[in-house]
Every structure is written in structure tokens, then in C-alpha cells.
Amino acid sequence: MKSSLTPVSYAKWPNCLRLSDGETELIVTTDVGPRIIRCGRVGGPNLFKEYARQMGRTGGSRWRIFGGHRFWIAPEHRPLTYVPDNIPVPWTWNGSELRITQQPDQPSGLQKHLAIRLAGGAVCVTHTLVNRSKRTQRVAPWSLTVMAPGGRAIFPQARYASHTRNLLPARPVVLWKYTNMADPRWTWGEQLIQLRQDPKAKNPQKVGLCSTPAWMAYATPHATFIKRHTYDSRATYADMGCNAETFTNADMLELESLGALVDLKPGARATHVETWRVFGTVLKDFNEKSLAKALHPLVLATPRPR
């Protein structure tokens, strides 16, 4: 079904845009952004986290998380990554694609563009970083989706294989100084890595992966969210080679993907594409084999990014 775009008021922001194909709906803010603040099935709950005290706020020099889906710059750095997105953003709609453009960051001169398509239940989000400065900068597009609490993230591993035929390392996992692999929120399996969001958790957790399957999932009590991204064996990735990352605390869980790390020349652009789908499927059995079997058709039904 063809998608439609409707101006709406949402979460105390008067100038939002509702993009829907009758099956899935997105709410995009234009009073701040670029930001996709809502994603869910039509009539269903928001799968994205909303920070209630920040809803409707605009202006100011302090970066706010807001929630939803945001576009950052990697590697993580203050102040480069934490430039506020607190002011209105212009947008265009051509009947099939919504394009949102942020003013160039100051003082870096980097500009973010977000292009969103929705059709047949599939969402395509293209993140484009343009260097409007006069100097080359080593950066990567970084896509972060802040999921609502109470769910479980699932990350695939490259296929398990025997020692006798596989002498070289594979499946890199990167740990932050505050990562605790013994934390009960983690489940480290042969095929999958699972991370449970816990509203009672006291300490954050983060892990990065070089994910050759290049997809991730978030299971909630009412729906399953699939995100597909990209992997290029020829590319260099930030954070010791990560194209996929996850972070969680007591408030939320982030599904993060990263584009290639590049030396972005003046006037040049770097693009990173994700595809999403929201399924009404409710996953209840988190045994690894059962979970892998249940997720397989959902991943296949989510288009691969081009």
C-alpha cells in the first residue's frame, strides 16, 4: 500500500509528520530533529522510547536524548557527537520519500540529511552526512534507535563452525570499560547474543560487534522490530571495527548501526542505509534454537538495504 503523509501534533510538538502505509506508522518531528520519535503498528503502542520530561521541548544549547531514532556522528566525541538537534528542521515530501535536512553543525560544518520511505510495511531510512567545512574529517554515520523498556535485543553471530577447519579468528566482540559479561541481562549463545532491557538495572551495558549478518531485532510483549543494516568487508569501521552496537540502562535499550569510517573531504558525503519492519509476531520462547527459527522468516521478510 502507498504511504501517506499527514501533519499532526504529537508529544507536545505541534509540527510533526505522520507517515503511514496503513500497516505501520512513523511520527517524525520537525520542531526538533532530524528525529523519528514514534514507530509502531497502526493503533499499537510506540516501540520507541519517549522521555516524557523532554517531550515538546525546543531550543537551548544542551543536547537532549528525546528518545526515538536519531542520527549521530562516530567515533563518539564531545562535543562533535553531542551537537544539539533542538531547532526546527526543513523538510520535503515527493509523494513517496520524506527528506529532512539539519543545518550544518557548528563548529564542525557537518550536515545531516535523513530520507525516509515507507511502503508495504517496510521502512527505509537513509542517513547522509555532508561535509560543509573546508577541511577533511574522519567520521562515520551512526544510526541509533532508542527502544522502549521491557524488551529484549537479539544479535546474530556468523555461523558457528568447527575448530579443525577454522584456524583464524572471527566474530569480533568489543567491550567498553563498563561492560560486565557476567551481567544477567546478557545471554551469550552459539548462534545469537541476547540483551534484556531491565528497568531495575543499576548499571549500563554496552557491546560492539563486527556483524557480517548485519541485522538486529527487538522483541517486546506486543511486537517484534527488525532492523537490517550493512557490512562491507573492505571498509574500516569505528570502535575497533564495529558496524553494530547496543547500549542499555534502566530507561531504554539502543539498537545502533554504523556506516564505514571515511576521510570525508569538503563537499563530499557519506551514506548509511537501514531497513526496518514491525511484525505483530510476539516471541515468547527465548531458547536459542527456537528463537533463531522464529526470527529467520522475519529477517527474510525485511528488505536488505541497498
The string of DSSP codes covering 170-217 is: -S-EEE-TT--TT-TTEEE-SSEEEEE--TT--S-EEEEE--SS-EEE
The sheet carrying 269-279 orders its strands as 91-93, 97-101, 110-119, 122-131, 269-279, 224-228, 215-219, 152-156, 192-196, 186-188
N-terminal to C-terminal alpha carbon distance within the chain = 21
pTM for the predicted model, two decimal places: 0.97
Closest CA to 47 of 211, 217, 287: 217
**Nearest CA among 288, 276, 254, 208 for reference residue 70:** 254
What is the mean predicted confidence (pLDDT) over 227-256? 98
User: pLDDT (tens digit, 9 = 90+) per residue, 62-107?
Assistant: 999 999 999 999 999 999 999 999 999 999 999 999 999 999 998 8
Going from the C-alpha of 229 to that of each of 158, 214, 222, 258, 285, the distances in angstroms are: 15, 5, 24, 8, 25
For a pLDDT cut of 90, what percent of the chain falls above it?
Answer: 95
Q: What is the pLDDT of residue 303?
A: 98
